[in-house]
Amino acid sequence: MARRHKPKTPPAKQRFSGAESHKPKPPPATKQRFSAAERSALYARREAANVLRSVLRGDAERRAVASIKSLVFSPSVRNKRATFALVCETLKHLTVIKDVLEIANVLNSKWKRQEPLVYIICYDILFGKDTPSIGDAEKFLMRHKDALLSGLATLLVRKKVESVDQLLGLSKLNGHLKPRYVRVNTLKMDVDSAVQELEKHYTVQKDETVPDLLVLPPGSDLHAHRLVANGRIFLQGKASSMVAAALQPEAGWEVLDACSAPGNKTIHLAALMQGQGKIIACELNEERVKRLEHTIKLSGASNIQVFHGDFLGLNPKDPSFAKVRAILLDPSCSGSGTITDRLDHLLPSHSADNMNYDSMRLHKLAVFQKKALAHALSFPQVERVVYSTCSIHQIENEDVVSSVLPLASSLGFKLATPFPQWQRRGLPVFAGSEHLLRMDPVEDKEGFFIALFLKTNKLDNPKPSELPERESRRRRKERTMQLHPFLCPKMFRALSRTLHRRRRKPVLCINSED
């Protein structure tokens, strides 16, 4: 009987043929691809949310770490233009966005913890040109787009207005076009070379007041320019550039910048000193210290020493500061002169009636400013002190200077006139205010204030009655100790007892030389 042979089993690749071989297989896991524009928009929304979080937190605590512009144009933000636009527009519409979210009631606890990002995305959905399509938060809010739009319509009806512009009540800022100022970093580049390079794309003029400052047309965007990126030029306003120039530090000096971050004035000092001497840059806030260090590194300045600490905590008699000859004091202020530049008018605290708060805040700022200025004047070897603010308020400017004038005079300081050719001077509220410098928000496109104190060569040997009592007693005691006790012991002991009792009856003509 013939043996049957079992058919050979085909190899695995040939086992299935025909229809059975085409069973559907699960598609391989592939990474979802997004367009470059989608990725850029996604990153811009995240960066804008981070900036917005810092801005809102600082505004709520009344302790802003930096202005909106400073935060947006920090090195960590990549898409600066888109981020800046998103932050500004979201802040303009923030009240409306909050009301719409409350009406729509679509946020759960997860997204309530990410409110800045939600505000940014809601702006894009309700008012933006591009509809967000990628990102978990974007997808969540897009699923509730109809509820958000319905909430906006309900809000318009409640407020009895026909458009979002009416709802916002946005008053157009008196839009005066401000030139773009650029300061040349002379540590890396001379002014003429900078002019030659910038003239390839812009109309450039040299400023009449500050030698290393250039003036470009309004709206000139140089944030991505290679000269900015490599630290050869810095985008710095005219008023800010006038502060270091008013101090006029000499090459080889030791200078103290009391409140230095973000560092533009600090590195300007370094350039004016030709990279020589030493600059002590004080900054209390840790985040602002990082910004300061980045600015210094970008500038190429090698004579700046950063001190992370409180200027008011420095001991003027410490030997470390024995050679400090000039101090630049640009303390915290209301920023009322640069409110448009800083965009503070967009913040929630500026949208309501905060007159009482503003008055209290100005008083607290003035107390700090007086204390800081008096402290700056107390450093023994200091010959020049510049006090400046970006404020328009008398309480932060003339009143601060007036309050320290008696102390300044007793220490040998007098008010000097920075930039004598400048027309706008201090408010006529005390004798000598004509030495002060003011910039007008309308005429000069920003409000600013500068006071310059110069120490005379010597105190004009004031009489004891013209000196503070403590200083007068100290001088009498020093002269007394100059009399050798062994030459006239009885007279010395009698005089010592007299001074100890604080009697003013002269035993000897000790003060005849005063």
192 is in an annotated binding site: no
Alpha-carbon distances, residue 315 vs 129, 505, 512 (angstroms): 57, 36, 34
Provide the CB-side half-sphere exposure for 289 (13 A, CA).
Answer: 12
Note the maximum CA span of the chain: 154
d(CA 190, CA 146): 58
262 is in an annotated binding site: yes
- Measured over the CA atoms of residue 436, residue 442, residue 443 and residue 447, the dihedral's sign is positive
Neighbouring CB atoms inside 10 A of 192's CB total: 10
335 is in an annotated binding site: no
- Whether 441 and 228 have beta carbons less than 8 Å apart is answered as no
7 is in an annotated binding site: no
Which of 88, 122, 390, 488 does the annotation list as catalytic?
390
Q: What is the CA radius of gyration of the chain?
A: 33
Amino acid identity, residue 49?
A: A
Provide the CB-side half-sphere exposure for 403 (13 A, CA).
Answer: 17
d(CA 293, CA 306): 8
d(CA 244, CA 292): 16
59 is in an annotated binding site: no
124-127-129 Cα angle (round to 5): 65
d(CA 183, CA 191): 9
260 is in an annotated binding site: yes
Alpha-carbon distances, residue 409 vs 232, 312, 327, 412 (angstroms): 41, 21, 17, 5
The helix/strand/coil state of 234 is strand
Identify the CA nearest to 495 among candidates 479, 513, 512: 479
197 is in an annotated binding site: no
The helix/strand/coil state of 213 is strand
337 is in an annotated binding site: no
- Whether 374 and 411 have beta carbons less than 8 Å apart is answered as no
390 counts as catalytic: yes
Distance between start and end Cα atoms, the chain: 147
- Whether 83 and 44 have beta carbons less than 8 Å apart is answered as yes
The set of catalytic residues is 390
List the binding residues: 259-265, 283, 310, 330
List the binding residues for S-adenosyl-L-methionine: 259-265, 283, 310, 330
